[in-house]
Chains A and B, each alone.
Chain A
Amino acid sequence: MCDDIVVVLADGDIAQAEHACELGQRWFFDLPAADAAACMINGQPADVAAGIERAAQLLARARYPLVYGMRHASCEAQQVAASLADWLGACIDTPTSLHHGPWGVSFQGVGEVTSSLGEVANRGDLLIFWGVDPVTTHPRHFERYSVFPTGMFLPRGRADRTVVVVDIERTPSADEADLFLEVTPGRDFEALWTLRALIAGHQPEAEQVLADTGLPLSVWQDLVERMKSARFGVMFFGTGLALTRGRHLNTEALLAVVRDMNAHTRFVAKSMRASGNVAGADNVLAWRTGYAFAVNLARGFPRFNPGEYTASEILTRGEADAVLLVGCDLDEDLTPAARQDLASVPHIVICHRPTAEATGAAVAFQTSVPGIHTGGTAYRMDEIPLPLRPTLDSPLPSELVILQQIERRVRELQAAGDAAP
């Protein structure tokens, strides 16, 4: 998330989004149609008030409600969603479960040595990008935070930094690197464990290393030399690690490598979070429940269990009997199987994109867009909270207002005894 975009308006519309990358351009220009129906019930346009009533009834009477998503929601809306989930005794989960969840789990095992992005810009003289291709996924990352900025301790900018890309194939990011290391697919764990061995002063067998990682021992020895001679090393990593063979073991290995490196020099790890405000949802859920995702409130208090209380698994096991989806990218945020199973569960969609038809929602609210039509807070990938500044008005209600109204109505139904026990 970039906080330096300048939006130019003309005739009440966005004419230009200066500094925005291709992804940003899409965000600013792919807006809901001005005449979009704010609410649909069973595919038919309806009053928002009727939609609130129907949604509240569905949720309040459900025995196993699921609240999911919040990628495209302000933290303020996420707070309401979490509050609602508590009153309902629901499961609440976010796309972390499908993307960076393995990192979240390994973090609970070993912790993490990390920093804000400004520290990388000012101090990071060795940048290692592992299983992540920012040129494609985070197009302005190199320019703003990592590879190119001149920093307090790096006055020559790019020339003062060494950039390494480790991946299973050559990526656009690799083309910008000083060093590209192509690892055998599915062998990140072995590669990272080789690094740990070398950092600790062990001598792994060369043949074994080559067989395990696809690269000769000398390449890894060279990398460790560079790491130990850096003043402030950074390892960026992404779903290339978290979602491939080994999953949380891969991210745990990387976090352990970075921790180990702090016995030699300063080193930090940085997870490259996906777009939207998922990092915000991690934080909101954590402060309200103690857990960042995969939270079940059915017993009257928060419990955590990835795999059991994560949305895609709940849906594919056919457990939920009502689902509230808030600000999701359905194609990315549910597994194909879960998307299919969603169709057979009564569900409510609150989103600025028209997804109702695609999923056959019982109730669908099309909302204004946080950050374009409404304010609030969103977290950057390094967990720095930033204010959203609206630039346009919208006739559509915000996701925050819809959630507040549903919560209010659910509380009334519960007080009247018109809800599941």
Chain B
Amino acid sequence: MSSSLTKITGGTVYDPTNGVNGQVRDIWIEGAKIVAAPTDPAVRPARTIDARGMVVMPGGIDMHCHIAGPKVNVARRMRPEEKREAAPVLRTRSTHSGTMGSVPSTFATGYKYAGMGYTTAFDAAIPPLAARHVHAEFADTPCLDKGFYVVVGNNHYLMQAIRDQEPERVRAFLGWVLSATKGYAPKMVNPGGVEVWKQQQAGNVSGLDSVVEHFDVTPREIIRGITRAAYELGLPHPVHLHCNNLGMPGNWSTTLETMKTLSEFGGHLTHIQFHSYGGSDGDESTFGSEVAQLAAYINEHPNLTVDVGQVLFGPTTSMTGDGPLGYYLSNVYGTKWFSAEIEMEAGCGIAPIEYKQKSVINALQWAIGLEWYLLVEDPWRVVMSTDHPNGGSFLAYPQIIRLLMDRTYRRDVMKTLPPRVRERSTLWDLEREYTLAEICIITRSGPARILGLTNKGHLAPGADADVTIYTPDANVQTMFELPRFVIHAGRIIAEQGDLREPGFGKTLHVEPDYDRDGETDIARWFETYNSIRFRNYPVGEEYLAEHELVACQRR
């Protein structure tokens, strides 16, 4: 009896969501979904993939990267020089060409993720006004299911509603803006700080209780107001937070205060590495790691999660919705600088940067990132990221995996770093080595759970048929760099680095249930201050090709 089934046979399966950790199992696929093995033994698969001796995992999920949108595209335009150095992506009979460097073009981005076994990625910071642009870029980014986070932490309407203590207006706006943009989650970037930057030279907030002039509101109030609304809307990924004071020596205390504020309703702290620094502003020699106490707080609070934002050595491009940070970095490096203020809602900063192995600060940043992976006890609450391209390229993930699984290698790298790194971080003394099951968690099963994606990150019947099959290698970096097969939505899209039949993937978005009457007030505000008409702001269905509405559970 023939069928339309695919069978992955004999592989060593890692599916920690379902308690499978390195057992030999068969995986059956029909269409774009994982299905149960047919009960009738006469049913034969139409195609069999022999995975004997190989490692089978769900497709990788990057929950925090910058791969689309206006700032990514500006960075592409601004950095022709690095494209000359990087090997380009060549056109084939069935795939498009592209350019690399720290900010690859859209097709190159999709192909490179696929080649590495990743099948889902979320862009982490999109101004709502640019949502239309992002959906258009997504349509040209193959091989990946995609979504994006909508920046709201400096939104005028929200700041006013929070100041006026009107949580129902906060909730209505948040529900409306996520639906209007076809976005996935609310993102706060330096809440309040970007607005201050728009108002004054080198402006920023200094901590959670700095007052944002004109709006008379503090970062703490913004974080609390938005987190509460996100909780009430029952979003699958309630809130994604880039804390205040990113990159500043001594910022760990702001981060700890933020964790305390966030823990009331729960949420996700992103690129936490950049927020875990000791020391004081004036004295570079005091710079050091404060991961131990921050990780202890995370360990004690199960409703908080983090992704790391690992730094890798080499040149890259910093791009952020944190306008004052862009200004700071461009002054530190003396490089070209792009900055853009987006009316009513957001900012943006871009600058070429380089993490140098010889720099004590950069080497400590590298060590601090690794400490985070090793000091959070529960792998389900720490996620692999480089904050691509801010800490380094997403292409560095296999290298990070090796650093986590092989402490000899980790220490060998540490030996090449300035000795002070061992004094000002705990990394040298950490014995922990990740297991394959734990790697599976921090690169797919964990992010799926944190994102509320019940059909991803696992291999039980009903899951999306996103599967990566690796050839084991003594060097795990080699293993993870070049998967034997990558299956996305049931189709083999890459085989040993060669692209097969790449599709475009689907867009993941939410439409929370919110008070529609609130739109009248939003429209009135919108028409008063925005330079486009209210009606032209929401993104229509025509911008979505294949898409999936992920459910919210209104509380």
Shortest beta-carbon distance from A89 to chain B in Å:
7
Q: Which residues of B contact A231 (CB under 8 A)?
A: 199-200
Given known A-B contacts A4-B533, A386-B532, A289 and B99 have beta carbons under 8 A apart: yes
What are the residues of chain A within 8 A of B99 when measuring CB–CB? 289-291, 301-302
Does A216 reach chain B (CB closer than 8 Å)? no
B531 to chain A, nearest CB (A): 4
- The listed residue (A3, A262, A282, A384) touching B77 by CB distance below 8 A is A282
Which of B336, B344, B531 has a CB less than 8 Å from the CB of A111?
Answer: B336
Say whether B337 contacts A259, CB under 8 Å: yes
Whether A287 contacts B327 by the Cβ 8 Å rule is no
- The answer to whether B76 touches A286 (Cβ under 8 A) is yes
Contacts of A112 in B (CB 8 A): 338-340
**How would residues 114 to 129 of chain A score, 1 for a CB under 8 Å from any chain B CB and 0 otherwise?**
1111110111000000
Restricting to B20-68, which residues have a CB under 8 Å from any CB of A? 68
* Cβ A291 vs Cβ B529 within 8 A: no
Q: Indicate whether B302 reaches chain A with its CB closer than 8 angstroms.
A: no
Instruction: Return 6 A-B CB contacts under 8 Å, by A number.
Output: A79-B136, A283-B70, A286-B73, A287-B137, A302-B88, A414-B93
Knowing A266-B201, A301-B99, A377-B132 touch, does A114 contact B339 (C-beta < 8 A)? yes
A224–B204 Cα gap in the complex (Å)? 25
| A264 contacts the other chain (CB 8 A) | yes
Q: Which of A116, A144, A152, A377 has the most CB of B within 10 A?
A: A116
Whether B78 lies near A121 (C-beta < 8 A) is no
Instruction: Tell whether B90 is near chain A: CB-to-CB under 8 Å.
Output: yes
Is A109 in the interface zone, CB < 8 Å from B? yes
A93 on interface, CB distance cutoff 8 Å: no
CB within 8 Å for A291 and B77 given contacts A117-B531, A121-B531, A386-B532: yes
Alpha-carbon gap, A380 to B199, bound state (A): 25
Shortest beta-carbon distance, A35 to chain B, in Å? 30
Asked if A115 contacts B343 (CB within 8 A), the reply is yes
Binds A, one of B100-108, B282-290, B509-517: B100-108
Q: Chain B, interface size: which category?
A: 35 or more
Distance between Cα atoms of A4 and B532 in the complex (Å): 8
User: What is the minimal beta-carbon distance from A78 to any residue of chain B, in angstroms?
Assistant: 10
Chain B positions 104-142 with a Cβ under 8 Å from a chain A Cβ? 104-107, 129-130, 132-133, 136-137, 139-140
At the interface, yes or no: B91 with Cβ under 8 Å from chain A? yes
A287, B532: Cβ atoms closer than 8 Å: no
Least CB distance from A1 to B in Å reads 10
Q: Which residues of A contact B336 (CB under 8 A)?
A: 108-111
| A115 CA / B104 CA spacing, docked (Å) | 24
Complex CA distance for A79 and B73, rounded to whole angstroms: 15
Find out whether the CB atom of B88 lies under 8 angstroms from the CB atom of A301: yes
Inter-chain contact A116/B343, CB cutoff 8 Å:
yes
- CB of B408 within 8 Å of the partner chain: no
Q: Knowing A114-B340, A117-B531, A118-B531 are in contact, say whether A123-B198 is a contact too (CB < 8 A).
A: yes
Q: Is B214 an interface residue, CB under 8 A from the partner?
A: yes
Residues from chain B with Cβ under 8 Å of A263 in the complex: 201
Q: A251–B76 Cα gap in the complex (Å)?
A: 20
Name the distance in Å between A218's Cβ and chain B's nearest Cβ. 25
Q: Using known A-B contacts A282-B77, A288-B107, A289-B105, determine if residue A3 contacts B88 with beta carbons closer than 8 Å.
A: no
Check A122–B130 contact: CB distance below 8 A: no
A118 and B343 form a contact (CB under 8 A): yes
State how many angstroms separate the Cβ of B388 from the closest Cβ of chain A. Answer: 16
Which of A259, A284, A385 makes the CB contact (< 8 A) with B132?
A385
- Chain A residues lying within 8 Å of B201, measured Cβ to Cβ, are 262-266
- With A266-B199, A297-B91, A386-B536 already in contact, the answer to whether A116 and B531 are too (CB < 8 A) is yes
CB distance from A2 to the nearest CB of B (A): 10
Measured CA separation A380–B130 after assembly (Å): 12
Further 8 A-B residue pairs, CB within 8 A, beyond A118-B530, A231-B199: A3-B536, A121-B343, A122-B344, A262-B201, A287-B68, A289-B98, A289-B105, A384-B130
A385 touches B136 (CB 8 A): yes
State how many residues of chain A have any CB contact under 8 Å with chain B: 65
At the interface, is chain B mostly helix, strand, loop or mixed? mixed
Q: How far is the CB of A299 from chain B (nearest CB, A)?
A: 8
In contact, B200 and A113 (Cβ under 8 angstroms)? no
B binding-site residues for A, Cβ under 8 Å: 68, 70, 72-73, 76-81, 83, 88-91, 93, 96-99, 101, 103-107, 129-130, 132-133, 136-137, 139-140, 156, 198-201, 203, 214, 327, 330, 336-344, 350-351, 529-533, 536, 540, 542
The distance in angstroms between the C-alpha atoms of A287 and B101, with both chains bound, is 13
Complex: chain A residue closest to B127, CB-CB: A116
CA–CA, A382 and B93, complex, Å: 37
Q: Determine which of A108, A153, A283, A375 lies in contact with B78 in the assembled complex, contact meaning CB atoms within 8 Å.
A: A108
CB of A301 within 8 A of CB of B137, answer no
Within 8 A of B (CB), among A19-40: none
The answer, among B140, B532, B542, for a CB contact under 8 Å with A3, is B532
| Cβ of B412 to closest chain A Cβ, rounded Å | 35
Interface centre among A231, A262, A375 (most CB of B within 10 A): A262
Chain A residues, Cβ within 8 Å of B327: 262
The answer to whether the Cβ of A399 comes within 8 Å of any Cβ in the partner chain is no
Query: Contacts A110-B336, A119-B341, A268-B341; is A283 near B533 (CB within 8 Å)?
Result: no
The distance in angstroms between the C-alpha atoms of A133 and B530, with both chains bound, is: 24
**CB-CB < 8 A to A122: which residues of B?**
343-344, 529
Closest CB in chain A relative to B159 CB, distance in Å? 12
Q: Judging by beta carbons under 8 Å apart, are B80 and A119 in contact?
A: no
Could you say which residues of chain B place their CB within 8 Å of the CB of A265? 200-201
Cα of A213 to Cα of B133 in the assembled complex, Å:
42
B343 x A79 contact (CB < 8 A): no
Q: Which of A79, A114, A118 contacts B344 (CB 8 A)?
A: A118
Which residues does chain A contribute within 8 Å of B78, judged by CB atoms? 107-108, 111
Specify which of B90, B132, B203 lies most central, judged by the most chain A CB atoms within 10 Å of its CB: B132
**Are B338 and A287 in contact, with the CB atoms below 8 A?**
no
Question: Chain B contacts of A289 at CB under 8 A?
Answer: 97-99, 105
Provide the bound-state CA to CA distance between A290 and B103, in Å: 8
B98 touching A286, Cβ below 8 Å = no
A300 touches B351 (CB 8 A): no
Chain A residue contacts of B76, Cβ below 8 A: 286-287, 290-291
* Residue A292 CB within 8 A of the other chain: yes
- Looking at B93, B101, B330, B532, the one whose CB has the most chain A CB atoms below 10 A away is B532
CB-CB under 8 A from B140, the residues of chain A are 79, 287-288
Are B91 and A86 closer than 8 Å at their CB atoms?
Answer: yes
> Distance in Å from the Cβ of A122 to the closest Cβ of chain B?
6
Closest to A83 in B: B96
Out of B79, B91, B105, B343, name the residue touching A287 (CB < 8 Å). Answer: B105
In the A-B complex, the 10 residue pairs with the smallest Cβ-Cβ separation, listed nearest first, are: A118-B343, A290-B99, A118-B531, A301-B88, A111-B336, A115-B341, A111-B338, A385-B132, A111-B337, A301-B97
CB distance from B330 to the nearest CB of A (A): 8
Q: Does A142 have its Cβ within 8 Å of any Cβ on chain B? A: no
Asked whether A148 is an interface residue with its Cβ less than 8 Å from the other chain, the reply is no
CB within 8 Å of B: which of A351-384? 375, 377, 380, 383-384
Contact pick for B105, options A111, A151, A288, CB 8 Å: A288
- Chain A residues with CB under 8 A of B96: 83, 86, 288
